[in-house]
């Protein structure tokens, strides 16, 4: 049994434990996942991996009396979901008019440069992922684990308790489905 699984089991209400012992054990892995996820974000991303890990962890253990994980895979699935929500909220906040979403930055030396565009495709992906979850929950969970959690097919399959081959087929289906919704919807809107 891994240290993470042991701490998760010890933090159950019946044992009187707390999930605060969990952070030192998972911090490096969460930071690696956050760095990997943020490397795919566009220019102008102000969120740092450390801040993303801390925010996600606070959301995970915020209601320490209510949050319980079954195992390591369940914990990392919850962490991937928390990171996804934080990134989507950050993208939405950046494009909101209240925060200057349509403003253009200009340097003092008259060189006109556009402000870095927020990742609108992240918002489109989130909307498509919500639609996918309504029609095929396991496929949506697999996408969250792979895209936002940075897990490999075998790791995600273990977290979802399915075979790697099933996860591979589900991943191919979900990618095609999301691609059609995100890219296909953008192309049809431009016509």
The domain boundary, picked from 82, 117, 152, lies at 117
How confident is the model at residue 74, as a pLDDT? 81
What pLDDT is recorded for position 78?
Answer: 83
Same domain for 70 and 87: yes
**Considering just the CA atoms, what is the radius of gyration of the chain in Å?**
19
- Domain boundary among the residues 117, 148, 182 is at 117
Please indicate, yes or no, whether the overall pTM of this predicted structure exceeds 0.85.
Answer: no
Span 158-178, pLDDT tens digits: 999 999 999 999 999 999 999
Confidence of residue 13 (pLDDT cuts 50, 70, 90): very low
Asked which of 117, 151, 168 is the last residue of a domain, the reply is 117
5 and 87 inside one domain: yes
Domains of the chain: total: 2
Shared domain check, 127 and 48? no
Please state, in angstroms and rounded to a whole number, the distance separating the CA atoms of residues 130 and 126. 6
Are 101 and 49 found together in one domain? yes
Per-residue pLDDT for 38 more than 80? no
**Both 25 and 109 in a single domain?**
yes
Predicted confidence (pLDDT) at residue 111 exceeds the cutoff of 50:
no
Rounded to 10 degrees, the C-alpha dihedral 104/108/110/115 comes to -20
Angle at 26 between CA 23 and CA 27, to 5 degrees: 70
Question: Do 184 and 147 reside in the same domain of the chain?
Answer: yes
Same domain, residue pair 86 and 127: no
Q: What's residue 89's pLDDT?
A: 86
pLDDT at 18 over 60: no
Q: How far apart, in whole angstroms, are the C-alpha atoms of residue 111 and residue 183?
A: 33
In this prediction, residue 66 carries a pLDDT of: 56
Range(s) of the domain holding residue 68: 1-117
Structure tokens belonging to residue 57: 């962890």
Regarding whether 73 and 113 lie in a shared domain, the answer is yes
Does 172 lie in the same domain as 86?
Answer: no
Q: Are 61 and 133 within 8 A, CB to CB? A: no
Task: Give the pLDDT of residue 23.
Answer: 67
């Amino acid at each position: 049994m891994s240290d993470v699984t042991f701490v998760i089991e010890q933090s159950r209400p019946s044992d009187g434990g707390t999930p605060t012992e969990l952070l030192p054990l998972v911090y490096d892995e969460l930071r690696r996942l956050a760095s990997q996820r943020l490397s795919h974000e566009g220019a102008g991303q102000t969120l740092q991996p450390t801040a993303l890990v801390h925010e996600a962890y606070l959301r995970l253990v915020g209601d320490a009396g209510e949050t319980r994980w079954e195992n390591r895979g369940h914990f990392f699935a919850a962490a991937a979901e928390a990171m996804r929500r934080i990134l989507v909220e950050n993208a939405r906040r950046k494009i909101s008019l209240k925060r200057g979403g349509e403003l253009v930055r200009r340097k003092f030396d008259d060189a006109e440069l556009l402000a870095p565009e927020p990742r609108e495709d992240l918002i489109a992906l989130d909307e498509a992922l919500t639609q996918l979850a309504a029609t095929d929950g396991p496929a949506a969970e697999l996408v969250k684990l792979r895209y936002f959690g940075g897990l490999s097919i075998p790791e995600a399959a273990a977290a979802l308790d399915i075979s790697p081959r099933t996860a591979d087929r589900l991943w191919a289906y979900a990618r095609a489905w999301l691609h059609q919704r995100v890219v296909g919807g953008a192309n049809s809107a431009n016509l």
